[in-house]
Amino acid sequence: MPDSATPPRHPFETGLDRTPANYVPLTPVSLLARGAAAHGAKVAVIDGDRRITYAELYGRCRRLASGLAARGIGRLDTVAILAANIPEMIEAHYAVPMLGAVLNPLNTRLDAATIAFSLRHGGARALLVDADYAALAARALAELDAPLLVIAIGGSAGLDGAGLDGDGLDGAVPYEALLEGGDPDHPWTGPADEWQSLCLLYTSGTTGDPKGAVYSHRGAYLQALGNAVTFGLGADSVYLWTLPMFHCSGWSYPWACVAAGATQVCLRKVEPAAIFRLIAAHGVTHLCGAPIVLSLIAHAPAHERTAFAHTVRCATGGAAPSSTIIRTMEEMGFRVTHLYGATESYGPATACLAQPDWTDLTADERYLRMARQGVALATLDAAIVADPETAEPVPRDGSTVGEIFLRGNTIMKGYLGNPEATARTLAGGWYRTGDLGVWHPDGAVEIKDRAKDIIISGGENISSLEVEEVLMRHPAVMLAAVVARPDATWGETPCAFLEVKPGTEPPEEAELVAFCRERMARFKVPKTVVFGPLPKTSTGKIQKFVLRDQARAL
């Protein structure tokens, strides 16, 4: 007789099992296999005079995987890469996961000691080096105790490994030679478990050592689809690499572009003249970049601009772009989408989506709405603004400040070797971003500040972003950063650091103060104004911790 203590299985749980026919672990590598089958003869990557079709890209990636495997690289081994936005960086995003290994894109703008820390902490077994960064790589490798397999990618000096002599990488394996010896039909099966680690991305780490966020195959696959849907990528899209591919794996766009069957155009260095030239030459339809990139484009002098007749979709993240920048970009033929995310969320997690009632708004009101951080991507489970103490959602009134929480499959697995930081960041079932914002009635999130950037003056909370937004409406101001400066009477007051537009004289402080007083409460107006270049991180973010030190010393 059947055991009465064991309830019978439900019909939907009987005979409906996972099999290789109906369940395959998700991996972004499958997107390239599909791309080669569907768009084999189509150009996948453009780099100067080089053209690589989807079929060739797939073959090159399999050759690279084969070459790495022949040299002992396998499952969960870390393969680092130090390179600019070149085709080989795209290839690494597929070849390394083909082996079940973990790709570690390194920030080319960091110092040798930080590069060495990342290689050591991530347990790198191999390092792919763009020849243009050979000297930096050599200095970093000199700080390591154990040697690595070094593979040299020919940079601006050529594709045969030239330009490496004397840079300390004389024993490196040339990249193209590795591919020549590789198998273009190298078999790959994907991960046995889609939760398997795929990528290791180090945060910028303004205090202490950087933390290594770990991505999964599942998360990368879903983020690729989320990006493609949100940004409107399709087979006719041409994506320009104005965003560093080492930053959050290029916000996951090496995978998103291939998922859509788009063409990727490489760009080694962000220069306005090159951006305009490539847009016109290749019919670029999409690009991404930090607000500083938008600022460079918007303020490019006339002689650096090349005319183009089509609309270019431009996605930006990081600090909220000013409504002035959005207006200027739109007037130049760009359609701006504001995104929000972090290394911990595979790049974009939310997007500002235009609403039907925006057509009834004035231009100024619409640009302010466009600068909001928006709603969750379709592949993210949820984005909320919550009380950081209780984790209860705040009212959707557009004024109650809380912390932005994210949750879903496109949140990192955690920080490598740092369970304490992982537990703090992924607490209570949410990724706690540390960003403060409000929730609007239409569901859109709007960042007000980083928790550490709120200025408390005389008991009043002042959003530095709000003050920066007003300052950047001044016709002479290109960039603004506002931090707290200690004050004997008020505790602290706003201190503004301003970078003026090229060829523009700094305005008088009294003029700026009057400009601000017309547009905000008096207690929010900066009490101190400093002109000059703003310090920035390697990814273009303004280093407010440096400015805080400067403000305290004034």
Query: What distance in Å separates the CA atoms of residue 213 and residue 436, rounded to the nearest whole number?
Result: 22
Query: What distance in Å separates the CA atoms of residue 437 and residue 454, rounded to the nearest whole number?
Result: 11
Name which of 45, 53, 30, 86 is nearest 257 in CA terms.
Answer: 45
Q: pTM here? A: 0.84
Q: b/e map of 155-175 (b: 16 or more CB within 10 Å)?
A: beeebebebbeebbbeebbbb
Q: What is the pLDDT along the chain (554 residues), one digit of tens a residue?
A: 556 677 888 999 888 999 999 999 999 999 999 999 999 999 999 999 999 999 999 999 999 999 999 999 999 999 999 999 999 999 999 999 999 999 999 988 888 888 999 999 999 999 999 999 999 999 999 999 988 999 999 854 433 444 455 566 878 999 999 999 999 999 998 999 999 999 999 986 444 568 999 999 999 999 999 999 999 999 999 999 999 999 999 999 999 999 999 999 999 999 999 999 999 999 999 999 988 788 889 989 999 999 999 999 999 886 566 777 888 899 999 999 989 998 999 999 999 998 888 988 988 888 888 888 899 999 999 999 999 999 999 999 999 989 999 999 999 999 999 999 999 999 999 999 988 889 999 999 998 876 667 787 765 668 787 888 889 889 999 999 999 898 877 778 899 999 998 888 899 988 999 999 888 778 789 999 999 999 887 667 788 878 988 998 88
The confidence score (pLDDT) of residue 460 equals 63
CA Rg value for the chain:
25
CA 302 to chain centroid, in Å, comes to 29
Tokens of 268: 């080694």
The confidence score (pLDDT) of residue 549 equals 87
State whether the Cα torsion 20-23-27-29 is positive or negative.
positive
Helices and strands per DSSP (H, E), number in the chain: 17, 26
Residue 482 near residue 471 (C-beta atoms within 8 A)? yes
Domains in the chain, ordered, with CATH?
57-218 (3.40.50.12780), 270-451 (3.40.50.12780), 454-553 (3.30.300.30)
Residue 176 contacts by C-beta under 8 Å, 6 or more apart in sequence? 154, 159, 160, 161
The confidence score (pLDDT) of residue 206 equals 41
Name which of 166, 163, 188 is nearest 174 in CA terms.
Answer: 163
DSSP helix, strand, coil percent of the chain (3-state; round to 5) = 35, 25, 40
Burial class of 194 by CB neighbour count within 10 A (0 to 12, 13 to 18, 19+)? buried
Q: Which residue has the tokens 């001044």?
A: 474
State whether the Cα torsion 346-256-70-168 is positive or negative.
negative
Burial class of 356 by CB neighbour count within 10 A (0 to 12, 13 to 18, 19+)? exposed
The confidence score (pLDDT) of residue 542 equals 84
Packing angle of the helix pair 291-298, 323-331 (nearest 10 deg) = 50
**DSSP E strand stretches across 56-211:** 78-82, 102-105, 124-130, 149-153, 173-174, 197-202
Length of the chain as a residue count: 554
